[in-house]
């Protein structure tokens, strides 16, 4: 058994919320630079160039990359040999978010109730996904999610007979509909299989995978490559103003499913695809 104090969780989450909103992770940064090199449209290149300037200003002048600093999504992978000392874990996580959004001058974009819509003024609660894993470490992934792209995400309950072609169509449909609304170039997170809610979580988790990494399942990897090509052939381009860079990556996660179903979730993310990972 290993003791972890919840104060440490709070401190890390606070720092991670800030870090995620001021600096793009290395994989995303590299993908954005590559996109500028390969983009064919003039206006597309101009926009990608300005997005480079934007990242520089965000870093140097401590202004968030995007004003939508997101709803904080947090994956907690907790080794089963970990024992938490201190406060209730969930409170410690929410406190980290609260401190991060306050001290980092991040926008408070969360309302307490979906219908009554009163701002909580501290960006809590975060959406937290817990899982118990082997070992004595705690792996934390903080992924603040903007809603321009979140709103364009979809779940499709396909039939087994729709097969892989149905899956491709679903993904292309979601990306086409998202178009300029999702601040392309996008990152497309896909979950295939599981149940209605499971595929959505798989898709969300897929967005936290490095954009230069592929699935280790050969057919899934091929699907990722094929879809990226197809998506970039849609012509949407940077800002949706036409071009050859519509997506930077398609990340697909799969899971077992029921004999009668083929759930597919497409979680669209913009070029401000934020993910910070730490292991404690």
Partner 1 sequence: MDKYINTPITAEKTEELKSGDYVYITGTIYVARDAAHKRMIEALERGENLPIDIKDSTIYYMGPSPAREGQVIGSAGPTTSSRMDKYAPILLDLGEKAMIGKGKRSPEVIDAIIRNKAVYFAAIGGAGALLSKCIKKSEIICYEDLGAEAVRKIEVENFPVIVVIDKNGNNLYETAILKYSNY
User: Which parts of this chain interact with partner 1 (CB under 8 A)?
Assistant: 40-41, 43, 46-47, 50-51, 53-55, 57-58, 61-69, 105-109, 117, 119, 121, 146, 148, 151, 179-181, 183, 233-237, 239-244, 270-272
DSSP 3-50: EEEHHHHHHHHHHHHHHHHHS--HHHHHHHHHHHHH---HHHHHHHHH
Binding-site partner at residue 119 among ligand SF4, partner 1, none, CB < 5 to 8 Å by type: partner 1
Q: Using the rule CB under 6 A, is 72 a contact of ligand SF4?
A: no
* Least spacing, CB of residue 149 vs ligand SF4, in Å: 4
Specify the stretch interacting with ligand SF4 by CB under 6 A; choose among 107-115, 125-133, 143-151, 170-178: 143-151
Q: Are 94 and 125 in contact, with CB atoms under 8 Å apart?
A: yes
Q: Which of 198, 196, 197, 176 is nearest to 188 (CA)?
A: 176
Q: Are 140 and 277 in contact, with CB atoms under 8 Å apart?
A: yes
Q: Using the rule CB under 6 A, is 207 a contact of ligand SF4?
A: no
Q: Are 69 and 109 in contact, with CB atoms under 8 Å apart?
A: yes
* Least spacing, CB of residue 228 vs ligand SF4, in Å: 19
Strand pairing category for 247-257 and 186-194: parallel
Q: Using the rule CB under 6 A, is 272 a contact of ligand SF4?
A: yes
3-state secondary structure of 7: helix
Binding-site partner at residue 244 among partner 1, ligand SF4, none, CB < 5 to 8 Å by type: partner 1
Q: Using the rule CB under 6 A, is 146 a contact of ligand SF4?
A: yes
């Amino acid at each position: 058994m290993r003791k972890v104090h919840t104060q440490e969780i709070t401190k890390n989450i606070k720092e991670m919320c800030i870090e995620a909103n001021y600096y793009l992770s290395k994989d995303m940064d590299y993908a954005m630079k590559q996109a500028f090199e390969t983009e064919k449209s003039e206006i597309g290149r101009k926009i990608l160039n300005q997005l480079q300037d934007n990242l520089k200003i965000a870093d140097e002048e401590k202004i968030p990359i995007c004003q939508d600093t997101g709803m904080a999504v947090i994956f907690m992978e907790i080794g089963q040999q970990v024992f938490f000392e201190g406060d209730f874990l969930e409170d410690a996580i929410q406190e980290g978010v609260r401190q991060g959004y306050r001290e980092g001058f991040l926008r408070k974009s969360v309302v307490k109730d979906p219908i009554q819509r009163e701002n909580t003024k501290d960006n809590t609660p975060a959406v937290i996904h817990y899982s118990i894993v082997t070992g004595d470490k705690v792996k934390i992934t903080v992924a603040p999610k903007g809603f321009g792209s979140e709103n364009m995400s979809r779940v499709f309950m396909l039939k087994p007979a729709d097969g892989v072609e149905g899956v491709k169509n679903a993904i292309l449909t979601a990306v086409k509909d998202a178009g300029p609304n999702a601040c392309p170039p996008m990152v497309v997170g896909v979950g295939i299989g599981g149940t209605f809610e499971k595929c959505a979580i798989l898709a969300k988790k897929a967005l936290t995978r490095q954009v230069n990494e592929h699935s280790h399942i050969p057919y899934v990897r091929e699907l990722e490559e094929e879809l990226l090509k197809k998506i970039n052939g849609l012509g949407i381009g940077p800002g949706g103003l036409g071009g050859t860079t519509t997506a930077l990556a398609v990340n697909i996660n799969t899971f077992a499913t029921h004999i009668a179903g083929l759930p597919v979730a497409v979680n669209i993310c913009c070029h401000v695809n934020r993910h910070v990972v730490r292991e404690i």
